[in-house]
Amino acid sequence: MGEKITSPFARHHLFRNPFGELTGRERAELAVVEVEEYLDWLDLKPSEEVRPAKLALQFIGPCGHGKSTHLLALQWAIARSGAEAEMPALVYFPEEGDQPALPSSRPLLIDEAQRMGWWRRQQLLGGTGPVIIGTHNDMSGALASAGFRVRTVDLSRSLTAERLCEMLNRRIDASRMGNAHPASSLCLTLEQVVVLQERFGSNIRTIEDHLYLHFQRFVLRGEPWLPVA
């Protein structure tokens, strides 16, 4: 049987499952993050009682709620803004093993900041800003005591259905085959996203996992595209 070769995604004008794993750069580019607002805040002139540039932006929330994605998006946005000569450092603290060193360059981004040991914490609090941290635990008290002006974004509460819908449809759009092909008719409606949130809450990673499997069944088994429970 002579069959033309096409990927299972091609008939939907996509080159991949939109909900698969992304590179760090893609994740940053597709993130729905108010980078401009955060960059403006980080450049804000401090008031007289605060040491210059001692600003701390912290994203708090459990696993899978987008802390790392926010940090990646801001890292790339800072690099693109041209305000810094090179990519700002993003330090990840593992669950076990040696604690990485904190560079002296600023701005500094820290992922899983709640895992910092005592000495690293002292280095952070004794240093300058701006710092941008992702953490499971609220560190605003310690940061404020050390003279930082702190802004806290609670990601477990800030994910609206509209934001999630935009995020997921960006994933689909980023998986299009290209300008020469029509846009995929596949999309998620706000109604469908509301149902997803009712089931999975704000855990974006779990929602992406669910959608990945659902999309595979859609292209491989011909099941209807209806990513709801």
Partner 1 sequence: MAACRITIQLNDSAPLSGGAPVSGVVIVNADKDVACKGLVVRTIWSTHGRGNVDTGEVASQQLFEGNWQSGQEARYPFTLPTAAWPPTYYGNYLNVSHYVSAQAKLSWAIDPKAQVEYVVVAHDAPDDLKPTVAPAKQSGFLAATVLGLIAVAFMVAFIPLLLLLVVVIGPIAGLVYFFKVILPKRITGPVSCDLAAPKVRAGENVRAKLEFTPARNSTINGIEWKIRCIEECVSGSGSNRRTHTSELFQDTVSSCGTRQLRPGEKQSIEFDYKLPTTAAPSLKFGSNLLKWTITARIDIPSWPDWTKNLEPIVLANATNSLPPRLADDEALGARPSSSSSSSSGSGSFGPGPFAGTVPSNKEKTVGDEAWLSQVVAQIREVQFESDALATVLEAVKDFSFPIAVTLENEIDTPDFFDEEHFQHWDDAEWWTGYSPNLNMDIGLAWEDGYPPEVESGRTWRGQASIVGYSAEQKQLLMCVQTA
Residues 54-73 that bind partner 1 (CB under 8 A): 63, 68
204 binds partner 1 (CB under 8 A): no
Q: Pick from 49, 118, 220, 229 the residue near partner 1 by CB under 8 A.
A: 220
CA angle 76/78/79 to nearest 5° reads 65
Q: How far is the CB of 4 from partner 1 (least distance, A)?
A: 5
Find, among 43, 44, 53, 59, the residue nearest to 128 by Cα: 53
Q: How far is the CB of 11 from partner 1 (least distance, A)?
A: 5
178 binds partner 1 (CB under 8 A): yes
179 binds partner 1 (CB under 8 A): yes
Q: Pick from 45, 47, 221, 229 the residue near partner 1 by CB under 8 A.
A: 221
List of residues 6+ apart from 23 with CB closer than 8 A: none
Cβ distance to partner 1 smaller for residue 3 or 37: 3
137 binds partner 1 (CB under 8 A): no
Which positions touch partner 1 (CB under 8 A)?
1-5, 7-8, 11, 15-17, 20-23, 63, 68, 92, 94-95, 112, 177-180, 212, 216-218, 220-225
